[in-house]
Amino acid sequence: MGGLLILPWLLLLAELGGAEAGGGTAMAMALRAEKTAAGAAPSKLFFKRDVTLTVSVTVGSPPQNLSMVLDTGSELSWLQCPGPAFRPNLSATYLAIPFANPACRDRTRDLPSPPFPNPSNRLCRVSVSYADGSSADGDLSSDVLRLGQAPAVRALFSCVQTPPSSPGAAGLLGLNQGSLSFISQMGAKKFSYCISAGSSDGVLLLGGVAPLVPLNYTPLVRISLPLPYFDRVAYSVQLEGIRVGAAVLPIPKAVLEPDHTGAGQTIVDSGTQFSFLLGPAYAVLKTEFLRQTRGLLAELGEPGFAFQGAFDTCFRLPAAAAPPREKLPTVALMLRGGAEVAVAAELLLYPAAGQLRRGGKEAVWCLTFGNSELVPLESYIIGHHHQQNLWVEYDLQLARLGFGPVRCDVAAQRLARLV
């Protein structure tokens, strides 16, 4: 992203300290190292991006330092306990919630499955399933959580013994719009993050600061009626079209909108790595991308191959060479209201680990848009890989999401020097 995009970020950062705008004092957090700022607001947290985004959190009394996955696609936060992650017996403020407690019934209303009594201890047992087939089953619990210099929040979460796979993390921090999400429990009206490319720190802001970069907004899509395939507490937006280079794909409007069952919603999800399109839209994107890269990229030519089971637009490249990123067409997801998520250069192709051809001379690289029907999913997903070098703002008060391109590594460095 060009230097012109950095300038407004730098100017606004100078005015950020202690700013408030409709949601209280802003708090900035890093999704990586456990760096916390001394002095005045905003406090900050930096995060690490790999297969997941992870943020440092302290839990309990005395505080235990833990790493949690940052997931805007989930409601219920969970921690692995007891065990090497969180040790409830060492926290004087830990509470397990009995099934008879009203919180077990009232606070779990947005979960897809109702709670049930744990037969071994009569505690409130909750279960959450994920699209990859994994699940998190645990007892509803409560303790004091704190991110950066933000005030401590007594929050409900699930204490699980056998967690889903989450490399390098002790648990998951749910940030969707459900009543049990951490954002809802802390009462935040706005939060935002910026995911850096590569191994640089990203930054997470909690609170109601004015936009730090110029943003284009798209309204959240809300459907009040319960539909079988519509997630009412997800951050759902309306996909209006897809552009490859200068070509807007000929995708019927009905393909991009939720149908009568709720299938076809578009979700912005920091807990998913790549992005997914429903089959009809994916097929059109695949055809056009192959057309525009003919002669530039050599197709893999193996109809049965799909990276991670869902990415089947793949290519063969010399093992020692990088893809011709600067020559690839940009793929833009066009959202209602004029906002868009533009995916270019190094974000378009991803190496399929361990996949070599011709005796190791060629590597396999795949387009980072997957076919939802191969997962299977009933929705469009915009994952965190395609949110790199974007300032993404979740404005809950005005029911909208904002997107603005910016060099996130520079933004995080400047914010780290604020206080």
The token pair at 109 is 């209303």
Q: What pLDDT does residue 207 have? A: 79
Q: What pLDDT does residue 325 have? A: 87
Q: What share of the chain is helix, strand, coil (3-state, %, to 5)?
A: 15, 35, 50
**Which residue among 137, 143, 231, 269 is the active-site one?**
269
CB 313 within 8 A of CB 286: yes
Cα 206 to its chain centre, rounded Å, is 15
Could you list the beta-strand ranges (E) of 211-255: 216-219, 236-237, 239-244, 247-248
The token pair at 209 is 């600061």
The lowest-confidence range among 49-63, 247-261, 333-347 is 49-63
**Which residue among 71, 137, 139, 143 is the active-site one?**
71
**Which has the closest alpha carbon to 171: 62, 51, 76, 43?**
76
For residue 217, pLDDT over 60 is answered with yes
C-alpha 109/C-alpha 93 separation (Å) is 25
Q: What pLDDT does residue 17 have? A: 27
Q: What pLDDT does residue 343 have? A: 97
CB 95 within 8 A of CB 142: yes
Cα 238 to its chain centre, rounded Å, is 17
C-alpha 190/C-alpha 401 separation (Å) is 10
DSSP label of 302: -
Mean pLDDT over 87-97 rounds to 97
For residue 189, pLDDT over 80 is answered with yes
Beta bridge partners of 54: 48, 69
The average confidence (pLDDT) of the chain is 85
Instruction: Please name the residues in contact with 355: beta carbons below 8 A apart, sequence gap of 6 or more.
Output: 307, 363, 364
How many C-beta atoms surround the C-beta of residue 261 within 10 A? 11
**Which has the closest alpha carbon to 159: 92, 89, 93, 86?**
86
363-396 b/e with 16+ CB inside 10 Å = b? Answer: bbbbbbbbbbbbbebbbbbbbbbbbbbbbbbbbb
DSSP run (H or E) holding 186: helix 182-186
CB 414 within 8 A of CB 10: yes
CB 204 within 8 A of CB 190: no
CB 81 within 8 A of CB 87: yes
**Which has the closest alpha carbon to 195: 403, 7, 41?**
403
Cis bond leading into 112, ω under 30°?
no
Domains defined along the chain, listed by start: 51-190 (2.40.70.10), 216-387 (2.40.70.10)
Residues 20-67: tens digit of each pLDDT: 333 344 556 554 422 322 222 333 444 455 557 888 899 999 999 999
CB 193 within 8 A of CB 6: no
Mean pLDDT over 387-411 rounds to 93
Is 269 a known active-site residue?
yes
For residue 2, pLDDT over 60 is answered with no
Burial degree of 233 (CB within 10 A; 0-12, 13-18, 19+): buried
Handedness of CA 304, 305, 309, 310 (dihedral sign): negative
Q: What pLDDT does residue 26 have? A: 57
CB 38 within 8 A of CB 44: no
Amino acid (1-letter code) at residue 270: S
C-alpha 255/C-alpha 277 separation (Å) is 10
Provide Rg for the chain, Cα atoms: 22
**Which has the closest alpha carbon to 83: 110, 64, 105?**
64
The lowest-confidence range among 151-155, 282-286, 363-367 is 151-155
**Residue tagged 């935040």 (tokens):** 188
**Residue tagged 């709670």 (tokens):** 115
- pTM equals 0.87
DSSP label of 97: P
Is 71 a known active-site residue?
yes
For residue 89, pLDDT over 50 is answered with yes
C-alpha 207/C-alpha 21 separation (Å) is 8
Q: What pLDDT does residue 8 have? A: 23
3-state secondary structure of 289: helix
**Residue tagged 């490319």 (tokens):** 197
